[in-house]
């Protein structure tokens, strides 16, 4: 029996939760623990096939209330072969909307059997104050308690789970722009302050889309999903977003969702 923590995690929140659940689950079940981190684009060129004895803790961030659509093609290549799965999503204190039900449905369609699921809070990709620092110790403790209950469910041979959300899934969440109409921020890209940039290449190395030109980090060579990895991991704070609709949306999120939200676990 193997427990596999598998996740996409540009700024590390989804990773922390997946590792906490996976490690505790492996401990409880005396199973081998491994990790498949598919954050970087090279890792999404590999095909992942599982066995019915595998237990896969599978996480993605919520993007616009859904599973990140840039991952859909990759997710379609998974082969569950009856492996047990625990889908979970992380979200930045607004809402996970239909991300969790969508992820659970994808895993079912790919031959996994969902037996538990969860939605956990992680610092918002756009902000340093929205759910700042989460998941922190208390969240990780909750993730471990969740793992203990999953282990008990597995030991008792229990199955079945109700995924929370709507079918058909709600449309991708869109912020409201300066003109009062839904804003499309998909084409927004980060800027580099050349005076602060030390050309260390960290941004190019951490971009999950491989979209920052290694030779000239001020140039984008692919799409940007605004995951915040380059901005938050830049050691000199040289990366920033200045798009007016992006900034308006960030401000509204910070203003509208200041309250601490609780993690959700379903068994």
Tell me which residues touch ligand FMN (CB under 6 A).
9-15, 61-65, 90-95, 122-125, 173, 225-227
DSSP labels for 18-73? Answer: HHHHHHHHHHHHT-EEEEEE--SGGGGSS--B--TTEEEEEEEE-BTTBS-GGGHH
Q: Which is nearer to ligand FMN, 91 or 112 (CB)?
A: 91
What is the b/e burial string over 200-217, where b = at least 16 CB atoms within 10 angstroms of the residue's CB?
A: eebbbebbbbbbbeeeeb
Q: Which is nearer to ligand FMN, 94 or 110 (CB)?
A: 94
Pairing status of strand 117-121 against strand 264-266: antiparallel
In whole angstroms, give the CA distance from residue 86 to residue 119.
11
Q: Which is nearer to ligand FMN, 54 or 97 (CB)?
A: 97
* First-to-final CA distance of the chain: 21
Q: Which is nearer to ligand FMN, 110 or 124 (CB)?
A: 124
In whole angstroms, give the CA distance from residue 92 to residue 192.
25
| Least distance from ligand FMN to the Cβ atom of residue 260, Å | 13
| Least distance from ligand FMN to the Cβ atom of residue 3, Å | 19
Whether residue 131 contacts residue 92, with contact meaning beta carbons closer than 8 Å, is answered with: yes
Q: Which is nearer to ligand FMN, 33 or 226 (CB)?
A: 226
DSSP H helical ranges for 35-183: 72-75, 99-109, 137-155
Assign 108 to helix, strand or coil: helix
| Least distance from ligand FMN to the Cβ atom of residue 122, Å | 4
Q: Which is nearer to ligand FMN, 151 or 207 (CB)?
A: 207
| Least distance from ligand FMN to the Cβ atom of residue 227, Å | 5
Neighbours of 21 (CB within 10 A): 29
| Least distance from ligand FMN to the Cβ atom of residue 9, Å | 3
Q: Which is nearer to ligand FMN, 29 or 120 (CB)?
A: 120
| Least distance from ligand FMN to the Cβ atom of residue 67, Å | 11
Q: What contacts 205, CB < 8 A, 6 or more positions away?
A: none
| Least distance from ligand FMN to the Cβ atom of residue 247, Å | 14
């Amino acid at each position: 029996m193997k427990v596999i923590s598998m996740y996409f995690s540009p700024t590390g929140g989804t990773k922390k939760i997946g590792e906490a659940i996976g490690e505790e689950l492996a401990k409880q079940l005396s199973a081998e623990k491994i990790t498949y981190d598919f954050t970087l684009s090279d890792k999404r060129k590999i095909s992942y096939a599982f066995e019915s004895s595998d237990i896969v803790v599978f996480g993605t961030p919520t993007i616009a209330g859904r599973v990140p659509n840039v991952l859909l093609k990759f997710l379609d290549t998974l082969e569950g072969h009856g492996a047990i799965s625990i889908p979970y999503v992380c979200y930045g204190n607004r809402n996970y909307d239909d991300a969790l039900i969508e992820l659970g449905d994808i895993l079912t369609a790919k031959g996994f059997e969902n037996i538990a699921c969860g939605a956990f809070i992680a610092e918002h990709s756009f902000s340093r104050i929205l759910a700042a620092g989460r998941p922190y110790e208390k969240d990780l403790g909750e993730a471990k308690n969740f793992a203990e209950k999953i282990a008990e469910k597995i030991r008792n041979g229990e199955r079945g789970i109700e995924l929370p959300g709507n079918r058909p899934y709600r449309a991708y969440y869109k912020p409201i722009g300066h003109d009062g109409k839904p804003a499309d921020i998909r084409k927004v890209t980060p800027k580099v302050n050349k005076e602060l940039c030390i050309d260390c290449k960290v941004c190019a190395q951490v971009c999950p889309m491989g979209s920052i030109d290694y030779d000239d980090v001020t140039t984008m060579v692919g799409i940007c999903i605004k995951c915040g990895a380059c901005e938050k991991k830049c050691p000199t704070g040289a990366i920033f977003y200045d798009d007016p609709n992006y900034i308006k949306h960030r401000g509204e999120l910070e203003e509208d969702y200041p309250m601490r939200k609780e993690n959700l676990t379903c068994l």
